[in-house]
Structure 1
Amino acid sequence: MARFILNNDYHVLAFTYCTDVPDDQDSVSVMELYPNSNGFFRPHREYTAYLHPRKTGNDQYGTKFYNELEIYGVVIGGEKLQQLIEELYDNIELAVNRQGLCFSFLFRYRDRDSAYYPVHGLFNWRKYGVNNVPHPPRELWSGIGIENELKDLGLELKNTKEELCRKEKELKDLESQLQEKNKDSQKQLDEKDQELKNLTKRLHAVQNEVIISSIYREYCSNESFEKRLQSLSVVSRETHVVLAFARNYDDWDSHTNGIFKVFFDQNVTPLMITNFKRNWPTTKFFLCIGDRSKRYPFHVTDKRTWIINATTSLKSIIQDYGFDGIDVYYTSSNSTNADDFIYTIGTVIDTLKTQKIITTASIAPCSFMDRPDCNFYAGLYKRNPNNFEFVVFQTHDDDNDIPMNDAQQLINIFNKLASDDNFPKEKLVAGHSILPKDWDTLPYSVILTALPQLIKSGVVQGTSVWALTDDQP
């Protein structure tokens, strides 16, 4: 049997899991340590030898297997060597030299090499029959450099703990401040919520007042109108359901030059519309063409083709769903020249009315599509006033950055529409949004104040409500 003599204090034994031993892969490796100036010990990159009770030969790197270990003349082999393997396995982070001095593995240190630190009094060779073992001198294996470094680390740790305590106190102070701010924010939210509830209550009161014997119109894109408008249809002179939108764009937002497609909810079916109209005969359904968003502006590439495509596609949609009329609601155009807008849309409405595909039509002008330099809707109306029974001025689609806080100012706008723009009072309808995000342009309190006065004075014939949220088509 091959025997390894451990006769070098810098040779240490450590547990090794060796893949070159097929059935019993646990073994002991012999490696050489080199002292460092700071008290650490670094191992040689290659093992000196392996110890195993049965394995012989060399590993793939040429390191030899020994079956016996000799320390100070005492031979350790067989069961005793197996016992040594198991003890080192139980203390897998330790290595031991012939004096019984242990070295604790400190993982990687600074320059990425493995490092060991000497530890006294953890191992005794007597259990293996080795009695004449000289005690390792502490002055040689003191690790003074490490002790000094550990002292520095201890001081650094103390400073770090103090810093952590200070940061923890700052964090608690910040949490306390945040809690106070949250309380203030919640209070403000509660106040806003109460304000909204009060406005909603006023809205219902105003609606009940102005809807009776007047026109009530609602823009929507799903079947929610069915329950919401049943009670209103009883008291209003005429109820309009405007389904938005039909656009001449495809599903990928590409312009189709007049080929319109519906983008309202698929749950709105022709049968639903038929049943609603049968139960509430004063209700009219409008197909809204265009879009409130500037994402889908009015755009014509070829006027003749646009007119043919629009007439054909809109005729099909109207007849499929049973719409009574069309509502023209564009808030932007690719061109500031209104001529194409006036000619193409005017021609399509003319054709659909002449062919009795629709019985009514409306336009939904907004301020920035009807400026004097544009004149889109005023020009469209003047082209053939008899084509449009309703002019729904959308107050919430104003591009003015300054909110309108004066109800009289809003009343003056409608008076001007009736006088300067020649929109007859008997056709005017006041459009507004019930969505809070639109109230930056026109505060809801203003419309609630102005609307009853406008209806009572006969300047407008009813109210139109925008009820589409951003998550609807």
Structure 2
Amino acid sequence: MDSSKVFISLFTLIKVIICLCSIQAVSASQSNLFREYIGAEFKNVKFSDVPVYSNVDFHFILSFAIDYGTSSSPSPTDGNFNVFWDTDNLGPDDVSAIKSQHPNVKVALSLGGDTIGDAQRVYFQPSSVDSWVSNAVSSLTDIVQKYHLDGIDIDYEHFQADPDTFSQCIGKLVSTLKKNGVISFASIAPFDDYDVQSHYQALWNSHGQLIDYVNFQFYAYANGTTVDQFMDYFAQQRRNYSGGKILASFISDGSGGLAPQDGFFTACTRLRSEGQLGGIFVWSADDSKAEDFQYEKQSQALLATPR
């Protein structure tokens, strides 16, 4: 065979391999996933209040399960989690009903959060890695099974433990729950704060393979964020959580970040055209109810549109 033809054939094969790898990389980060936090503000919102489009993957995230006691002066319980969301409207039967009505719906719970009530901060405060993991696996298994849940989300925002301890605890927790078949997915919810990022990036660097989604709180950036700024922030977090499925996000009350009416969907469309939109999530259904979930509808319509 002519050596020049062999070279051309090899060159063509290499181009095809590179193209296929690029397509796989795009599909790995792109999805039609929509996620919504619910229940933290006790505004009587129900799963059935929230519009669910049939052609998206939809995750409700119950907020929150916290390893604090439930007395009038709650304090850390070293991994023994209790339910702090609106159980009157979001109980086990309600979870079963929404999942039965919508086969594309899964339900998770989020761990930690910012505060209990309006004032008391929630701290990640284990006495030791082994004790915290043991208690957390036991208590969360009970909650997940009671409420018929599918996954967990990690949303600790304040820490009285170093990043390595946080990484070991959360990594072992997620690994054990997945290995035991208790959950099928896990996500993290960091934001751009030095202490927060140092803990979550330590977790990502050591156990990133266990984390299915990154619910980055882009609404924690300044109110009035522009589309171009949002795109820069998104690119920065893609570097921080390299290889992760990064979701775009907005806050229902418009108090921070890039608001839906100011270009959020423009940014999402740009990310989608680049194959980088890992999905959209909203904080939260409790506040969106007052506006009839107009932006949840718009988010799902965008995600459901064929690419």
- Higher helix proportion, which one? 2
Q: Give the letter for the 1:228 counterpart.
A: D
What secondary structure does 2:249 align onto? strand
Asked if 1:406 corresponds to 2:226, the answer is yes
Deviation at 1:226, TM superposition (A): 2.2
Q: Distance in 1 between matches of 2:74 and 2:95?
A: 28
- Could you tell me which residue of structure 2 aligns to residue 219 of structure 1? 37
Paired AA for residue 324 in structure 1: D
* Structure with a larger share of its residues in strand: 1
Q: Is the contact made by 1:395 and 1:431 (CA closer than 8 Å) also made in structure 2?
A: yes
CA distance in 1, matches of 2:75, 2:285: 23
Question: Which amino acid counterpart does residue 322 of structure 1 have in structure 2?
Answer: H
2:82 alignment partner in structure 1: 261
1:253-312 Cα shifts (integer Å, max 9, x gaps): 211111100011122121211121122111110111011337112222222211111111
Instruction: Report the equivalent of 1:308.
Output: 134
**Residues 61 and 153 of structure 2 are in contact (CA less than 8 Å); yes or no, is this contact kept in structure 1?**
yes
Identity %: 28
CA gap of 1:320–1:234, structure 2 versus 1, over 3 A, is same
The alignment's TM-score, normalised by the length of structure 1, stands at: 0.49
Q: Is the 8 A contact 2:153 2:189 kept in 1?
A: yes
1:85-164 pair list within 5 angstroms = none
What is residue 388 of structure 1 aligned with on the other side?
Answer: 211
Aligned pairs (5 A) from 1:203-282: 214-221=32-39, 224-229=45-50, 231-236=51-56, 238-251=57-70, 252-267=73-88, 268-282=90-104
The count of aligned residue pairs is 246
Aligned to 1:9: none
Distance 1:465 1:303 in 2: 32
Could you tell me which runs of 5 or more consecutive residues in structure 1 were left unpaired when the two chains were aligned: 1-212
Q: Are the structure 2 counterparts of residues 469 and 269 from structure 1 closer, same or farther at C-alpha, using a change threshold of 3 Å?
A: closer
- Structure 2: unaligned runs, 5 residues or longer: 1-30, 288-307
What amino acid does structure 2 have at the position aligned with 1:422?
A: S
Distance of 2:97 and 2:224 partners within structure 1: 41
In structure 2, what is the Cα distance between the partners aligned to 1:382 and 1:358? 22
Q: CA deviation at 1:353?
A: 0.6
What is the CA distance between 1:414 and its match in structure 2? 1.4
- What's the TM-score once normalised by structure 2's chain length? 0.73
Compute the displacement of 1:420 (Å): 4.4
C-alpha change, 1:257 and 1:468, in structure 2 (3 Å) is farther
Q: Which amino acid aligns with 1:250?
A: G
* Kept after mapping to 2: 8 A contact 1:332/1:369: no
> Which residue of 332, 339, 342 maps to 2:167?
342
**Matched residue, 1:92:** none
Q: 2:277 aligns with which of 451, 457, 460?
A: 460
Kindly indicate whether the alpha-carbon contact (under 8 Å) linking 2:65 and 2:82 is maintained by their aligned counterparts in 1: yes
Contact 2:167-2:207 within 8 A present in 1 as well? no
Q: 1:244 Cα deviation (Å)? A: 0.2
Contact preservation (8 Å) 2:36, 2:285? no
- What are the within-5 Å matches in structure 2 for residues 413-452 of structure 1? 413-424=233-244, 427-436=245-254, 438-439=255-256, 441-444=257-260, 445-452=262-269
Contact 1:362 1:392 in 2 (8 A): yes
Mark the CA change 1:233 to 1:469 in structure 2 (over 3 Å): closer, same or farther.
Answer: closer
Change (3 A) 1:460 1:378: farther
Q: 2:204, 2:252 → 1: CA distance? A: 27
Answer yes or no: is the 8 Å Cα contact 1:243–1:288 preserved in 2.
yes
Per the alignment, do residues 468 and 290 of structure 1 end up closer, same or farther by CA in structure 2, a change over 3 Å counting? farther
Cα deviations by residue, 1:10-60 (Å, 9 ceiling, x for unpaired): xxxxxxxxxxxxxxxxxxxxxxxxxxxxxxxxxxxxxxxxxxxxxxxxxxx
Higher relative contact order (CA 8 A, sep 6+): 2
Query: SS of 1:375's equivalent?
Result: helix
SS at match of 2:52: helix
Conserved? CA contact 2:110–2:153, under 8 Å: yes
Residues 369/259 of structure 1: CA separation in 2 closer, same or farther (3 Å cut):
farther
- Secondary structure (helix, strand or coil) at the match of 1:250 reads coil
- Alpha-carbon deviations, 1:161-182, whole Å to 9, x = none? xxxxxxxxxxxxxxxxxxxxxx
Q: What's the counterpart of residue 177 of structure 2?
A: 352
Name the counterpart of 1:291: 113
Number of the residue aligned with 1:17: none
SS of 2:108 mapped into structure 1: strand
User: Is the 8 Å Cα contact of residues 251 and 259 (structure 2) preserved in structure 1?
Assistant: no
Contact kept in structure 2, 1:414 and 1:459, CA below 8 Å? no
Residue identity in the other structure for 1:434: S
Partner letter of residue 220 of structure 1? Answer: I
Mark the structure with the bigger radius of gyration: 1
SS at match of 1:310: helix
Q: 1:403 to 1:277 in 2, by over 3 A?
A: closer
Which range is displaced more, 314-323 or 453-462?
453-462
Distance 2:45 2:200 in 1: 30
